[in-house]
Amino acid sequence: MLTKNLCLLAIGSALLTGCMTLSGYYQLTAYDTNGEVVMGDRKNIAEGSGIYTVRNALCGIPSVATVVVRDNKTGDELKGESPYRCR
C-alpha cells in the first residue's frame, strides 16, 4: 500500500512539474519597500525556470522587498509568479 501511494505521488509530482515548465526570456526588476527600483542600471534577464534563481538572488539583497517578473518580449507580468514578495 505504501509503495502504491509513493508511486502515485511520484507520478503526480512529475505531471505537475511538466505543466509548470517555463519557456522564453524574462526580465526581473527589484523594488524596495517604497516602490523604488533597486539597481535600476542593471537588467536582470533569465531564461525559463532560471527566473527562480535570479529572483532568489535579488531577494537576498537586504533592501529588496518585491520582485516583478515580466515577459521580455511582450512586457506582460508573469501570472502566478509576479509580483513576488521577498521574505
According to DSSP, the residues that pair with 45 across neighbouring strands are: 27
According to DSSP, the residues that pair with 31 across neighbouring strands are: 37, 66
Name the E strands within the chain.
Answer: 25-31, 37-38, 44-47, 66-71, 84-85
Could you tell me the pTM of the whole model?
0.73
Whole-number pLDDT of residue 87: 86
Q: Quick one: CA torsion of 80, 75, 55, 62, rounded to 10 degrees? A: -110
Render pLDDT for 1-35 as a digit per residue (tens, 0 to 9): 444 433 334 444 444 444 456 789 999 999 999 99
Grid cell of 59 as nine digits: 531577494
Domain boundaries along the sequence of the chain: 22-85
Question: How large a percentage of the chain has pLDDT more than 70?
Answer: 76
